Amino acid sequence: MRITINAHKLPSSGALVVGALKGSKLLDTAKQLDKASKGAIGRAIKASRFDGGKGQWLDILAPAGVGADRVLLGGLGEAKAIKQIDLENFGGTALQRLANCGLKNITMACDAIAGAKAEPAASAACLAYGARLASYRFDKYRTKLKPKDKPSVSAVSVLSQAPAVARRQFKALDAIADGVFMTRDLVSEPANVLYPDSMAQHCKSLSKLGVKVEVLNEARMEKLGMGALLGVGQGSPRESRMVVMRWQGASAKAKPVAFVGKGVTFDTGGISLKPGPGMEMMKWDMGGAGTVIGLMKALAGRKAKVNAIGVVGLVENMPDGKAQRPGDIVTSMSGQTIEILNTDAEGRLVLADALWYTQQRFKPQFMVNLATLTGAMIIALGHENAGLFSNDDKLSRQLFEAGAEVDEGVWRLPLSDAYDKKINCAIADMKNIGGRDAGSITAAQFLQRFVNKVPWAHLDIAGVAWGDQGKPTVPKGGTGWGVRLLDRLVASHYEGGK
Ligand code: BES
Ligand code: MN
Ligand code: ZN
């Protein structure tokens, strides 16, 4: 879908999206249409329950005296309460409502809103960004789609009072959307197509954007002593991989920020086999890695002034004659030994070596890891927030605030010695499960044993990486959760030498 920003000029056909504030106060373009149609907009409002409230919509077909074939009036609520995220959602919902309406073109008028905080240019960029994020589809395996199942809309034009500035701002947002789309694609791909090596090849595609990409194979990881990660992959005929992505957008001296992802391309549970129903969901057990890759694409795409490292541990967890057994003891790269009591608690084993490797090699300012780590996270927070676990209050606050701004919420849960004790083990340094109680926290305690002094945060994204219900800018399926959050974290606090 082609999304452009243009100077104000009313279209002579297609759908036209206009706005109103609480109390049905029409914004300029809507007012203009009302006049041209001799009051048709006002009459349509009177014939409905629309009153300009946030989230209200009114579809007006073929109003006389107006060029557009269809006018969609959207409510924005109170002017002073409008935030950027509301404008993104407005653009996204408008697109979703019209995508299959039969028309080819959508025009969205971005008018000045007296009393609103956002500048006109930023507002137009947000509308366009929202529409772009909402336009995502994963259709590549549907060979029999009929035209009526496909969107009719092929172009969106956002009308702005400051099109040049808006276009420049949209360019950066568009790069973030490219990252989000890459994550959604990776998460949606099935595990027969996306496996450790093929996923590593996707990472390599980022080199076009100036990202340096290194792929570690099993022999290399063995030399490095990554027994925890390698144990998980040993039951699969697909070789494990670790990929290091480096984006240098600041001076070579500047300490990097680091992002680490769990990339289990399929999680059967291994010998501790999962039950059959729902197992297909475990194709998205690489969601943490998917987000790290999409984030690196976003940062490089918008040329962020930061040095950023992305590390992903890629393995397939399969049951097999060669697979790891319950009771096996493995030695991690850190030297710490782990008794494997459940081969389905594999994500933490992958991250143990990935985190250790990242902090030893890169000495980052901070490390944030993402993982679809525990089913217990979904029990605790549902699909509304990701779990946040951290050894650092400042990083936690920054993540919380960035999450609220982009509507990718995080909620902090505790870490402490009392929980840590639950993974002590009689015959090795630790065991890989801590029992049913506080399952997400004991998993996080396990990760913390592989983190030294560096500020670190673990995001358990089991509940948010996939959505069975769509949202205004997030169609159902792979959400791309975390790309926007972490991009915002970097933009707000770690760019330009701060
Ligand atoms: N990948 C799963 C966690 C998961 C479950 C993510 C459902 C998304 C949806 C993880 O590897 C796992 O199997 N965790 C176990 C841990 C247990 C064995 C301690 C779990 O949550 O049951
Ligand atoms: Mn598992
Ligand atoms: Zn898993």
Task: Give the model confidence (pLDDT) of 69-109 as tens digits.
Answer: 999 999 999 999 999 999 999 999 999 999 999 999 999 99
Spatial contact of 350 and 444, defined as CB atoms under 8 Å apart:
no
Catalytic residue among 274, 305, 412, 471: 274
pLDDT of residue 497: 60
pLDDT reported for residue 118:
81
Question: In the prediction, which pLDDT does 21 show?
Answer: 98
Q: What is the predicted pLDDT for the residue at 133? A: 98
Selecting among 348, 431, 449, 488, the annotated active-site residue is: 348
Give pLDDT, residue 498: 47
Q: Which atom of ligand 1 is nearest to the CA of 282?
A: 1
Q: Is 148 a catalytic residue?
A: no
pTM, full prediction: 0.98
Q: Which atom of ligand 1 is nearest to the CA of 434?
A: 19
Q: Collect all residues with Cβ–Cβ distance below 8 Å to 60 and sequence separation of at least 6.
A: 40, 41, 44, 70, 71, 72, 73
138 Cα to the center of ligand 3, angstroms: 23
Ligand 1 atom with the shortest distance to the CA of 439: 19
- What is the pairing mode between strands 241-248 and 257-267? unpaired
Q: What is the rounded CA–CA span in Å between residue 293 and residue 307? A: 15
Q: Give the CB-side neighbour count of residue 35, counting CA atoms within 13 A.
A: 7
Look up 449 and say whether it is catalytic. no
Centroid of ligand 2 to alpha carbon of 436 (angstroms): 14
CB atoms within 10 A of CB 51: 15
Ligand 1, pocket residues at CB < 6 Å: 267, 281, 285, 342, 344-347, 372, 374-376, 433, 439, 462
Annotate 412-444 with DSSP letters as a single string.
E----HHHHGGG--SSSSEES---STTHHHHHH
**Cα(283)–Cα(266) distance, rounded to whole angstroms?**
5
Q: Please tell me the distance between residue 431's alpha carbon and the centre of ligand 1 in angstroms.
A: 16
Which among 374, 446, 459, 461 is the best mutation to test ligand 1's pocket, defined by most ligand atoms within 8 Å of the CB? 374
The pLDDT of residue 496 is: 82
Q: Which of 153, 132, 204 is nearest to 480 (CA)?
A: 132
Q: Which ligand is nearest to the CA of 262?
A: 3
Q: CA-CA distance, 126 to 108, in Å (whole number)?
A: 12
Query: Which stretches of the chain drop beneath a pLDDT of 50?
Result: 498
Q: Which residue of 342, 343, 344, 447 sits with most ligand 1 atoms within 8 Å of its CB, as the best mutation to test the pocket?
A: 344
The 10s digit of each residue's pLDDT in 111-140 is 999 888 888 899 999 999 999 999 999 999
CA of 484 to the centre of ligand 2 (A): 26
Q: Are 472 and 93 in contact (CB under 8 A)?
A: yes
